[in-house]
Amino acid sequence: MHLFLAAKLAWSNTTADMQRLLVRCSGVTFAVVLMFMQTGFRNALFDSNVRIMEEKITADIVIRIKSRFMLSSGQQMPLQDVITARSCEGVAAAEPVYIENVLSDFHRVGLASRKIRVLGFDPSDPLFENFGLKPLADKLNQPMTAAVDVKSKSMFGLPVNKNELAEQPFAELVNKKLELVGLFQCGINFSNDGTIAMTPENFAKYFSVRGGGKPLSKVDYGVVKCHPDANPDVVAHRLQRMLGPHLIVQTHADFLKSERNFWGKNTPIGLIFWVGTMIGFVVGLIICYQVLATDIGDHMGEFATLKAMGYPTSFFTSVVVVQALLLSLISFVPGFLIALTAFNIINISSGLIMFLNVQRTALVLGLTVAMCVISGVIALRRLLSADPASLF
């Protein structure tokens, strides 16, 4: 009974003055948006850096050299290890992936030369079908050709549609002519502002210094597709024993997890965004405390009367906690909508991957509720410790 009365009183206190409620919620909404943006940028760091392996390459197992600590670093492994992996029981296919972002000076007429990420793989292989380049395989197999990522930053001057591609199909890569023959979507990350893709044969023409003059003999990653009835964990264990300790063989899920852990725990960027989220939490805590403390102060006489009538401490706690919950939920809705709009704008304008799923939305909702409830409990201390006679 007391809980019902407490909830009814909390609702009345919250909605009695709609203009005042709007002002109060705007402060909490600001904190919600701040937490959404910080967690969004942090997740964009993780998602953008693993997007190639997570969405574009349909591998069950990823092979890399032990010294390679992240996707963008340059340590390479022998091609022979990828070839050897094809003979392992349970392996349906094993293909090399070449990545270059250090020697890759890209230049378009009228623009400055810039480093661009260059991917080398077989566009007709099913492992790479999510790039959508299979229809362009014949063109990409022609010498000195490449496809461009339409999500690359504009500073490269790359075409973003077929009309622009037809008008200006030529560029230079490491001072050699390059013809752009197709488009695909990939997106930028915190290490690379643009991407082009080509066949391994064309990759070798532009980066002939790799591998001691044998550019295709050293690969950046080996990607493996298992037979449908094979267990990737078991196959990965077999490959690890077959290939030796100089390589790391991981299932697709384990590779993504290790890559995200590296950015989250071993780089300051992940920590910075996490601290930003906590700052948003603290800001909201302060704002919410001021809101609830002011409201309690405004109704101190009414609370004193109820306390003198013998209402228990649990009643007042319930009133303030329910009021804090209402404030958090009402403020969360506009904060969510504002963040969703901001994410879409950033996706379109920058090419970074920022999106909300149930897990990420629930995290911010949980932080918002905790923020408001903690503030309410702190604000309640004055009322609970006061003598009813002194409150009139």
69-79: average pLDDT: 79
Q: Which of 265, 284, 318 is a domain's end point?
A: 265
Q: What is the four-CA torsion angle of 270, 271, 276, 278, rounded to 10 degrees?
A: 120
The neighbour count for residue 198, using CB atoms within 10 Å, is 26
Looking at residue 36, its pLDDT comes to 92
Residues 96 and 209 in one domain: yes
Residues 151 and 176 in one domain: yes
Lowest average pLDDT, out of 85-89, 300-304, 333-337, goes to 300-304
144 has pLDDT over 90: yes
Q: Which pair of tokens denotes residue 256? A: 């993504």
318-339: average pLDDT: 89
Q: Is residue 332 very low, low, confident or very high in pLDDT (cuts 50, 70, 90)? A: very high
3 has pLDDT over 70: no
Looking at residue 87, its pLDDT comes to 94
Q: Which pair of tokens denotes residue 7? A: 């909830």
265 has pLDDT over 90: no
146 has pLDDT over 60: yes
Residues 198 and 343 in one domain: no
Residues 191 and 71 in one domain: yes
Expressed in angstroms, the distance from the first to the final Cα of the chain is 27
353-366: average pLDDT: 88
**Averaged pLDDT score across all residues of the chain:** 87
Q: Is residue 386 very low, low, confident or very high in pLDDT (cuts 50, 70, 90)? A: low
**Which residues neighbour 179 within 8 Å (Cβ) at sequence distance 6 or greater?**
142, 144, 145, 146, 169, 170
Residues 302 and 246 in one domain: no
* Number of domain units in the chain: 2
Residues 343 and 222 in one domain: no
Q: CA 25, 30, 34 angle in degrees (round to 5)?
A: 145
Q: Work out whether strand 170-173 and strand 145-149 pair parallel, antiparallel, or are unpaired.
A: unpaired
Residues 340 and 242 in one domain: no
What pTM, to 2 d.p., does this model score? Answer: 0.80
What is the residue range of 210's domain? 53-265
196 has pLDDT over 80: yes
Q: Which pair of tokens denotes residue 390? A: 């002194």
Residues 233 and 369 in one domain: no
Residues 233 and 349 in one domain: no
